[in-house]
Amino acid sequence: MTGLDIKLERVKLRATQKDLAEASNVSCVTISKIETGSNFNMSTLDKIKKGFKIKELENKIQEEIYRIQMIDYPTSNTNDNLHKMQKELKELKNSK
């Protein structure tokens, strides 16, 4: 994965550098440097990949909430799906 790949994935997720940095537990400066071609180690890449997963799950949760509020009448199944995603996000954020 290159710096450009990271930037493209971040933009695809509609995340700012700050969003990704917070989700990845790295600094905004680190994200900026990587995206502009600086070298990075596997540990940093692992953190960024985890940050991508967090942002993706957060987006899915927001989309599900919007769908429930604006489009569908909530059912026990939709609430179960939402709770499952929220639990998965919490576990992901708490993992090392």
The amino acid sitting at 17 is Q
Overall average pLDDT of the 75-80 stretch: 77
Q: Show me where the domains of the chain are located.
A: 3-94
Inter-residue contact 49 to 25 (CB < 8 Å): no
- For the chain, the average pLDDT equals 92
Q: What is the pLDDT of residue 72?
A: 66
Cα–Cα distances in angstroms (integers) from residue 72 to residues 18, 37, 63, in the given order: 33, 44, 12
More confident: 10 or 65: 10
Inter-residue contact 9 to 52 (CB < 8 Å): yes
Q: What is the pLDDT of residue 61?
A: 93
Distance (Å, whole) CA 9 – CA 1: 10
- Specify the CATH number of the domain 3-94: 1.10.260
Inter-residue contact 41 to 13 (CB < 8 Å): no
Which pTM was predicted? 0.83
Kindly report, residue by residue over 15-35, the tens digit of the pLDDT.
Answer: 999 999 999 999 999 999 999
